[in-house]
A and B are shown apart, each in its own frame.
Chain A
Amino acid sequence: MSIEQTNTVPELDFNTPAQRRLRQARMLKDKLAASGIAIGGISVILAVVMIFFYLLYEVAPLFRSASIEPWGGQQEVSYAVPGQGRTLYLAVEEQAEIGFRATDSGNMVFFDSTSGRILKEEQLPLPAGVDISSFALLSEASQTFALGLSDGSVKVIKHNYKATYPNGKRVLNPELVYPLGEAALPLANGPIEHLTLNQDSDAWSLIALSQGQLTELTLSMNENFLTGEVEIEQSSRTLPTIGVKPTKLLMSPDQRWLMASLPQGKVAVMALGNDPEVTQLVEVSKAEITSFELLLGGSSLIIGDAKGQLSQWFFVRDETNQFQLTHIRSFEHGDSPVSNLTTEQRRKGIITLDADGTLNLYSSTANRNALSEPLFESAADAIALAPRADALLVQHGDRLSFWHVDNEHPEISWSAYWEKVWYEGYAEPEYTWQSSASNNDFEPKYSLMPLAFGTLKAAFYAMLLATPLAICGAIYTAYFMVPAMRRKVKPFIELMEALPTVILGFLAGLWLAPFMEANLAGIFVCLLVIPIAIVLFGFTWNNMPNKIRFLLPDGWDAALLIPVVIIATWIGLALAGPVEHALFGGHMPTWLSNEVGIPYDQRNAMVVGIAMGFAVIPTIFSITEDAIFAVPKHLSYGSLALGATAWQTLTRVVLPTASPGIFSALMIGMGRAVGETMIVLMATGNTPIMDINIFEGMRTLAANIAVEMPESEVGSTHYRTLFLAAFVLFLFTFVVNTLAEAIRQHLRKKYGSL
């Protein structure tokens, strides 16, 4: 083509309006596509990154501290105290709409909790000349209290709220109920100085101190099936005296123990059996006891004193199997005396108000001070916490103030998650995971320790199996095996990585676990027999006449060994019978648990180790193989040329060069084992125990999430704790994998220069 010819086509104009429009459209399309892809790409990446932030967002409230503010916002809600007399008892109902106050003049007032407007007022009909001489609360949650009168009789009263729905709107109707009848129950002869009561389903027990004498009255209510009438059976007895005059009496809900706080920081414990006696006199404090209350559930005693010490006590069996009131923990508290103390109605929480006006919120299990706020100038006269622990009513002189408390997750702290905690009813501090139970006053046990331990235990046993097999296999495949065989073996083993773990788990649980129980000795014998057989065969093969030996070229040894391993396994299992009879009395698991004292579970860590080891072998194998294969060939040629044997070259040259890659393979395998869910879920008993024993099960973080997440209440502490477990798993595997990836990239760069 000549130059002239190109010049003769000037008619081909690229700048026609149509061409320009087309170009513009193309440019626009290109720009749009560029931004579209950028937006799409970035949003996909953001969506994936969001997992991290969402988990964090769900976990964060666990670690937020509590807060308190005036009810309904900034303005302090304060009003004159409704009703007359000195407050004996202050309470708020469930919705925090209605407050209740009982006074020493027998005035029972229900009032609007935000304005103090009286909704209902009742005056107890007291006989002339009789006044209220003592007060006792059954428990905060029961809303029931007793008044001891100066004529020695007792009235038991419950404040109750009935919801009705006239015109579709909820209206709360407060009322007073008398569970033991409206008439006063005669209990003592003189004025009742101190009183305590408790109820165990239909059995009531009241103990009164009058003129230095302790009297117990027990009532049992039987409903007649036919008539529906309630019959009350009564009996009363005199209890031994305590000696010193108590300042307050408390009774355990099972009506077995009477606890009396005495002057000078002492507490007397009386066993209320068939013959009651004082069993213990403990000095709980160096100062006077100022607060003496039972925690939710009634098994723990919370004691506050004039020096500002706050502590928890409950009954623990000692060496002689006797229950002793024992100091469990002290709470961090200022020096100011504990002047008011009340307990939460749904959780093991404590609220104190000190003499200097500081409000403290505690959770007993977590031993956490969720809030410490100087709210007032001085001590209050009475405080009340709403059942949902979201509202606080404080009486200060003749003013009542109403507060909103935000304390969602007090039961969580570092120590609750990761340290030993002395739970109620336990003989000593322990790591326990027990997130739910049937009754309301259950103490949730959120120790992540057994779960983390179980996770690591499962991963450890899995790695114990997988590491030698995968690494040795990879070494052979990458360094010794003939390429023809390598091309078959490698994808074959890698395919196993895609095998659904649910299949491995089901085989482990339904096939391997019973098989192992029946052939435990056989498996151990095989562990010995197989390596011996392999080495023996190798020796024999190498000493074979060359004619036979050269039938198979080098690098095909692994294929030869397949029948050897199968025969060795068969021999191992066949040998197991006699060995088991000779050494283990016929059945190794039975022998282990009876003779050695190692408990044997059918679904145990060894089953998990084998199944999960199986799942991680392909991961480790594949990466290790790549790392070894990537070692430049001239390094090993150099070594071989200098006269080193193949094995020497491998151990001194190839493996050191590939070691970072092998390390990263192990880490990635470990990451996979830690997060594996289905195998552990199906192949262990899922009991959260802490025992390194290979013949017992465990519960891992991942399996725990799978088991408990569907039943967990949205937004609860339990729910967020499970999110925390997921977050821990996420972080752990992410960090481990990133580290491994960084090592691999580094390695790749290094080889690039060789």
Chain B
Amino acid sequence: MRYSVSEWTKSGSPWVWLNAGAVAICVIMVVGLLGLIAMRGLAHFWPADVMQATYTQGDQSRRIMGELVQQEMVPAEQLRGAGIQVPDGVEEMRRDLLKVGNRDFSSADFVWAMDQGISDKTLPEMIMVAERLEWGNFYGYLREVRESGETVARHDGHAKSPEYLAVWDEFQRRIDRVLEIRDQILTIEKHEIGSINYELERLRLEERSLELEQSTDAEAYAEIEARRAELNADYEVLQQDLIDLYTKINRDSFTAEIADGREVEIDIAKVVRAFLPNKMGTGEKMAHYGVKLWEFLSDEPREANTEGGIFPAIFGTVMMVILMSVLVTPFGVIAAVYLREYATQGFITRLIRIAVNNLAGVPSIVYGVFGLGFFVYFLGGSIDDLFFPEAKPAPTFGTGGLMWASITLALLTVPVVIVATEEGLARIPRSVREGSLALGATKFETLMKVVLPMASPAMMTGVILAIARAAGEVAPLMLVGVVKLAPSLPLDGNYPFLHLDQKFMHLGFHIYDVGFQSPNVEAARPLVYATAFLLVVVIALLNFSAIAIRNHLREKYKALEM
């Protein structure tokens, strides 16, 4: 069938097509967004090739080494404004963003270079990338491995050769040794000395509280003193161990040639890992990718959160969410049961139902303000006055922390659980309840043995949705206890094991903080994408499971519906 334009317009078809277009745009936006996050987030762990080239700018040329991060077209006018010479007639020029690292030897670790000026691009196999504890990545040619300042192995060429690889292997062996020692140091510093410090602090508080009670029990004081002396003795021993380990770890160093031809010396103790990306095959790269991904998930952050892992943030998020679900599930369910099963159904119940429903739409920051004012300052302040006078003026619960954050989020998500559970209860046919009652069960027995089991998938849905919401919520947490870097996890080996008063790290806040408050945004960006991707995956999984449970529930009780 052929349509003329006017006929086609008159039938309203253009509008239908435009509406279809809106759906298409929505879907593209959603897919594009997820794709963007996934691509950028996952690409971060792939070992990129390191390029070596000559960069000519005006009449000066120099050697550069680095990873190509980004390319963009820049209008000539803007470049001329920045004082870069652009030939007439050229309207746009390509500009490359290179990650050149070596922040301690050159001014910036990211540089923009005009693509035109870059020549002789090569990917030499022996260019080394060293990830370090400080100053970010290092790029260069390995020259020499030293032990206590004495040369152990040296090679001066740039090309791959057995001699060069021997030096490289020597270097790798020494890195492994350093990693092992660093592990020992970490165990002592974090766990052993950490728990001694924790004990000492508890003793101080105990003593202070004795003083506050104006106790004259000399025995108690003496006991504290004795335990303190014991801990201090332990501490001395560990301190000596640490000194030994530090001497051992600082033994080795290496030198390397950097882009401008200088040879610089770096302690191997500062190196996390070193690899030759251009030499790696796809298999090796994938293995490396796996290692990096695991590091990201299981390690602590380094360098102001721009490198390393995000384990404390994952752990903090999980802890907070678990505590929140423990709180929100019983209360949400009880409130829903009350509203649906026990309260007289009337105008007021309807009003309450609408109000509860709408509380889910109240901005989360309002809950944060409430949590800060009521929980942290009012309740927390009172708890401190009553139970922790010895710690004053330092607040214990009178400042944001894990417990207040969980309670605040529980309050924020309780409407979600109530609404979902109520929906589940409403779906259970009256006949089921009446059957149970007719058999002589009391109302409570009916509830526990018949109604609640049938409504349990709905409750699960509610709790999962609540968790998904809580895991992604950041604004209220910023007020009630999230920090950019928590010195220790809220769950550890020191009594009372779960530290409800401690501040914690959170994935969502991590994204905000690293992406926007970080001193080196360019370096932090890939990590932020990776974190965002992780968060999206977690929340999508939670939501999909909620949807699946809901659908399962609907199928299950379809037969009962009339």
List residues of chain A with CB under 8 Å of any chain B CB: 26-27, 29-30, 33-34, 37-38, 40-42, 44-45, 47-51, 54-55, 58, 468-473, 475-477, 480-481, 489, 491-493, 495-496, 498-503, 505-507, 509-511, 518, 530-531, 534-535, 537-539, 542-543, 546, 557-562, 564-566, 577, 580-581, 585-587, 590, 614, 617, 621, 645-648, 650-651, 668, 671-672, 674-678, 681-682, 702, 705-706, 709-710, 714, 722-723, 726, 729-730, 733-734, 737-738, 741-742, 745
Contact present for A45 and B352 (CB under 8 Å) = yes
Q: Which of B2, B21, B331, B525 contacts A40 (CB 8 A)?
A: B331
Using CB atoms, name the residue of chain B closest to A667: B361
Which B residues between 19 and 42 are near A, CB-CB below 8 angstroms? 19-30, 33, 36-37
Contact present for B23 and A40 (CB under 8 Å) = no
* A535–B13 CA distance with the chains assembled, in angstroms: 9
Assess whether B354 is interfacial by the CB under 8 Å rule.
yes
Contact present for A587 and B75 (CB under 8 Å) = yes
Given contacts A34-B444, A538-B13, A498 and B543 within 8 Å (CB-CB): yes
Contact present for B366 and A730 (CB under 8 Å) = yes
* A506–B535 CA distance with the chains assembled, in angstroms: 13
Contact present for B479 and A706 (CB under 8 Å) = yes
**Interface 1/0s, chain B 250-285, versus A by CB < 8 A?**
000000000000000000000000000000000000
Q: Which residues of B contact A726 (CB under 8 A)?
A: 365-366, 369-370
Assess whether B78 is interfacial by the CB under 8 Å rule.
yes
Q: Which residues of A contact B516 (CB under 8 A)?
A: 506, 509, 682
Contact present for B26 and A617 (CB under 8 Å) = yes
**Interface 1/0s, chain B 317-346, versus A by CB < 8 A?**
000000000000001101111110111000
Contact present for A645 and B12 (CB under 8 Å) = yes
Given contacts A27-B442, A30-B445, A647-B12, A481 and B515 within 8 Å (CB-CB): no
Q: Which of B2, B5, B77, B363 contacts A590 (CB 8 A)?
A: B77
Contact present for A495 and B543 (CB under 8 Å) = yes
* A108–B216 CA distance with the chains assembled, in angstroms: 49
Given contacts A501-B472, A561-B24, A617-B26, A48 and B37 within 8 Å (CB-CB): no
Q: Which residues of B contact A505 (CB under 8 A)?
A: 512
Query: What's the minimum C-beta distance from B263 to chain A, rounded to whole angstroms?
Result: 37
Interface stretch (choices B105-113, B184-192, B220-228, B371-379):
B371-379
Given contacts A481-B23, A565-B28, A682-B516, A506 and B373 within 8 Å (CB-CB): no
* A509–B518 CA distance with the chains assembled, in angstroms: 14
Query: What's the minimum C-beta distance from A147 to chain B, rounded to whole angstroms?
Result: 43
Assess whether B309 is interfacial by the CB under 8 Å rule.
no
Question: What are 24 A-B pairs with beta-carbon distances under 8 A?
Answer: A29-B442, A37-B342, A40-B338, A41-B337, A48-B359, A50-B374, A472-B22, A480-B16, A493-B26, A495-B543, A500-B473, A502-B512, A509-B515, A511-B36, A558-B21, A559-B24, A565-B21, A577-B92, A587-B77, A617-B26, A702-B475, A729-B363, A730-B366, A733-B361
Which B residues between 138 and 189 are near A, CB-CB below 8 angstroms? none
Q: Which of B3, B73, B92, B511 contacts A503 (CB 8 A)?
A: B511
**Interface 1/0s, chain B 529-557, versus A by CB < 8 A?**
00010011001101110010000000000
Query: What's the minimum C-beta distance from A486 to chain B, rounded to whole angstroms?
Result: 10
Given contacts A40-B338, A51-B370, A647 and B362 within 8 Å (CB-CB): no
A-B interface, 5 closest residue pairs, ranked by CB to CB distance from nearest: A41-B338, A675-B363, A647-B12, A500-B472, A538-B17
Given contacts A543-B2, A587-B78, A590-B78, A45 and B335 within 8 Å (CB-CB): yes
Contact present for B30 and A496 (CB under 8 Å) = yes
Contact present for A614 and B33 (CB under 8 Å) = yes
* A542–B4 CA distance with the chains assembled, in angstroms: 10
Contact present for B78 and A586 (CB under 8 Å) = yes
* A526–B373 CA distance with the chains assembled, in angstroms: 47
Query: What's the minimum C-beta distance from B512 to chain A, rounded to whole angstroms?
Result: 6
Assess whether B474 is interfacial by the CB under 8 Å rule.
yes
* A733–B356 CA distance with the chains assembled, in angstroms: 13
List residues of chain B with CB under 8 Å of any chain A CB: 1-3, 5, 8, 11-30, 33, 36-37, 72-73, 75-78, 91-92, 331-332, 334-339, 341-343, 352, 354-359, 361-370, 372-374, 377, 411, 414-415, 418, 442-445, 447, 465, 468-469, 471-475, 478-479, 508-509, 511-512, 515-516, 521, 525, 528, 532, 535-536, 539-540, 542-544, 547
Q: Which of A58, A502, A580, A733 contacts B363 (CB 8 A)?
A: A733
What DSSP secondary structure best describes chain B's contact surface? helix
* A182–B27 CA distance with the chains assembled, in angstroms: 83
Contact present for B512 and A678 (CB under 8 Å) = yes
| Residue among A44, A480, A499 having the largest count of chain B Cβ atoms under 10 Å | A44
Contact present for A476 and B29 (CB under 8 Å) = no
| Residue among B331, B342, B365, B528 having the largest count of chain A Cβ atoms under 10 Å | B365
Given contacts A476-B20, A535-B17, A586-B91, A677 and B364 within 8 Å (CB-CB): yes
Contact present for A480 and B334 (CB under 8 Å) = no
Contact present for B91 and A581 (CB under 8 Å) = yes
Q: Which residues of A contact B12 (CB under 8 A)?
A: 645-648, 650-651
Using CB atoms, name the residue of chain B closest to A475: B19
Contact present for B20 and A561 (CB under 8 Å) = yes
Q: Which of A502, A530, A542, A561 contacts B508 (CB 8 A)?
A: A502
Using CB atoms, name the residue of chain B closest to A533: B21
Contact present for A702 and B365 (CB under 8 Å) = yes
Contact present for B356 and A48 (CB under 8 Å) = yes
Query: What's the minimum C-beta distance from A552 to chain B, rounded to whole angstroms?
Result: 12
Using CB atoms, name the residue of chain B closest to A613: B29
Q: Which residues of A contact B30 (CB under 8 A)?
A: 492-493, 495-496
* A192–B73 CA distance with the chains assembled, in angstroms: 76
Contact present for B366 and A729 (CB under 8 Å) = yes
Given contacts A489-B27, A543-B2, A44 and B414 within 8 Å (CB-CB): yes
Query: What's the minimum C-beta distance from B3 to chain A, rounded to whole angstroms?
Result: 6
Query: What's the minimum C-beta distance from A731 to chain B, rounded to whole angstroms?
Result: 10
Query: What's the minimum C-beta distance from A105 to chain B, rounded to whole angstroms?
Result: 47
Q: Which of A48, A503, A577, A672 contacts B361 (CB 8 A)?
A: A672
Q: Which of B19, B27, B478 contacts A710 (CB 8 A)?
A: B478
Contact present for A733 and B362 (CB under 8 Å) = yes
Q: Which residues of B contact A675 (CB under 8 A)?
A: 361-366
Contact present for A702 and B363 (CB under 8 Å) = yes
Q: Which residues of B contact A493 (CB under 8 A)?
A: 26-27, 30
* A468–B18 CA distance with the chains assembled, in angstroms: 10
Q: Which residues of A contact B16 (CB under 8 A)?
A: 476, 480, 538, 557, 646-647
Contact present for B411 and A33 (CB under 8 Å) = no
Q: Which residues of A contact B341 (CB under 8 A)?
A: 37
Q: Which of B20, B475, B536 contacts A678 (CB 8 A)?
A: B475
Q: Which residues of B contact A558 (CB under 8 A)?
A: 20-21, 23-24, 27
Q: Which residues of B contact A714 (CB under 8 A)?
A: 377
* A645–B474 CA distance with the chains assembled, in angstroms: 49
Using CB atoms, name the residue of chain B closest to A722: B369
Contact present for B547 and A491 (CB under 8 Å) = yes
* A726–B374 CA distance with the chains assembled, in angstroms: 14
* A565–B532 CA distance with the chains assembled, in angstroms: 27
* A731–B12 CA distance with the chains assembled, in angstroms: 42
Q: Which residues of A contact B368 (CB under 8 A)?
A: 705-706, 709
Query: What's the minimum C-beta distance from B513 to chain A, rounded to whole angstroms?
Result: 10
| Residue among A48, A702, A730 having the largest count of chain B Cβ atoms under 10 Å | A48
Query: What's the minimum C-beta distance from A191 to chain B, rounded to whole angstroms?
Result: 55
Using CB atoms, name the residue of chain A closest to B32: A566
Using CB atoms, name the residue of chain A closest to B92: A577
Q: Which residues of B contact A500 (CB under 8 A)?
A: 471-474, 508, 535-536, 539
* A232–B36 CA distance with the chains assembled, in angstroms: 69
Contact present for A537 and B77 (CB under 8 Å) = no
Contact present for B20 and A503 (CB under 8 Å) = no
Contact present for B363 and A503 (CB under 8 Å) = no
Contact present for B338 and A645 (CB under 8 Å) = no
Q: Which residues of B contact A44 (CB under 8 A)?
A: 331-332, 334-335, 414, 418
Contact present for B365 and A473 (CB under 8 Å) = no
Q: Which residues of A contact B539 (CB under 8 A)?
A: 498-500
| Residue among B374, B525, B547 having the largest count of chain A Cβ atoms under 10 Å | B374
Q: Which residues of B contact A587 (CB under 8 A)?
A: 75, 77-78
